[in-house]
Structure 1
Amino acid sequence: MINKIARSVADALADVKDGSTVLIGGFGTAGIPNELIDGLIEQGAKDLTVVNNNAGNAEVGLAALLKAGRVRKIICSFPRQADSQVFDGLYRSGQLELELVPQGNLAERIRAAGAGIGAFFCPTGFGTQLAGDRETREIDGKQYVLEYPIHGDVALIKAEKGDRWGNLSYRKAARNFGPVMAMAAGRTIATVHEVVELGEMDPEAIITPGIFVHQIVKIDRVATQAGGFKKAA
C-alpha cells in the first residue's frame, strides 16, 4: 500500500546529505516550510546549496539555516531586505556564495529542470553583469542569454492539503514555487495542514500530483512566530 505520510519531520529529512542542493518553496514569508527548515537544522546536513526566492528574514526559517552555517551557496532573486542581516553579514564576510537570478529566470530554470529541458534562451539579463560569460544569441532580431535548469536533490515545500499518495493542493499565494520545485527535485518533502482520505480531493484541485512527492508531514495550522505571538500559517 502506498503511504507517503512520514511519522515526523525528522524521519522525512533523515536522508538529506551534505552538499545537497535544496529547493525551498516560498515567496517572501508566504509558503515558507519553516518546520522543514528547522528540521533540516536539527538534522545537521551542511555545505548546502539553497534555492529560494529570498535569502531569509530576521533570524528564523531560512535565515536561521544560514546563521547555523549549513549553507555554502544561495541561488535567489531578492537576497537583501530590511531584515536580511544574517545574509548580509555572511555574504560581506565571504562566508556565503550568492548566485543572483532574476525572478522570472529563477522560476523558468526550475520549471525547465522538471520538464526535462536541457537549456533555453531568455532575453532577461542580456548586456548586464547577470549574463556573465554565458552564450548569447540573436533570435528574430532580439538578443538572448543561454540559461540552464536548476535541479534539486531535495525540495522542501509547504502545501495546504494532501493524501497518503502525496497529492497536494495549496492555499492561495503559498503555492508560489512549490509546484515547479516538486517536479525539479530528486526527492520532494511537503508539509500539509490537512491529510484527507484517497478520493476526497477533487482531481481538478490537485496542483502537484503524488508522483512528484515522496513524503508529506502533517503540521499544526497555528504556530508560534518570532516575537512570541501566534499567527495562522
Structure 2
Amino acid sequence: MMTKWLLILGVVGIVIIPNSSVEGYLLEYQDELANLSSLVVREVTVSWAANSELNGLFNRRLLAQIGEATIQMRFRDETVAELLENERDSLSETCWQSLEEYYTFYRTLWGVDLRNCMQEAYQDLEYDRLGRFRPQASSAQRIIKTATYQVIRTLSMSDIFDEESIRRKLTEEQQSYENTWEYYATTLQEELDRHDGIVSGTMGRLEICIDRVLDYQQEDIDVIEEEIQTNCNNQVKMFMK
C-alpha cells in the first residue's frame, strides 16, 4: 500500500514540476509585457500633456493677433461713423444717404474679409489639434495596451503541449511590441517637433491676411473721406470699387 502511494506521489510530482516551470515563464512574459504597457501609458500621457500645452499656446497667439486686428478695425469703423455723423449737415441729403449705404456695404466687406482670415487660421489650429500628434498617440495607446493580455491571447491560439512553440511566439510578440513602441516613441517626438513649423506658417499667413484686410479697409475709408470733402462729386470712384 505504501508503495502504491509513493508511486502516485511521484507521478503527481512529475506533473506539478513542469507545470510550475511553465507557469513561471508565462508569468515572466506577462510581467515584461505588462511593464512595457505601463511604461507606454506613462510616456504617452506625458506627451499628451506637452501637446495640449502647445495647442493652448497656439490658440492664445492666434487670439492675440486677431484681437489686435479687431480692435484696430473697430477703432477705424467708429471714426468713420463719427465722421459721417459730424458731417451730415454739410452734405446733401442724396450724398449722405449714398455714403450711409456704402458705409454699411463696406462694413460688411470688412467683416467678411477678417472672418476669412480667421477661418484659415482656425483650419490650421484644428489640424494642429486633431491631425498632428493625436492620431499617432491614440494608435500607440490602442496597440500597446493589448500587450497586457498578449500571453493569454497567444496561449489561446497555441498548442498547449508545445512549450517551445509558445516560448518562441511570446518572444516574438514581446520583441514586436518593443519595436512598435520604439517606432511610436520616435514618431510622437517628431509630431511634437512639427508644431513649431505649423505655428510659424500659420502666424505668417495670418499676418499677411490681416495686413491685406487693413489695407482694404483704409482704402475704403479714404474713398468715404474724399466723398465727404467733395459732397459726393466723385461717386464714380465709389461705383468702380
Q: TM-score, normalised by structure 1?
A: 0.19
Higher strand share: 1
Larger Rg: 2
Under a length normalisation based on structure 2, what TM-score does the superposition of the two structures give? 0.18
Structure with a larger share of its residues in helix:
2
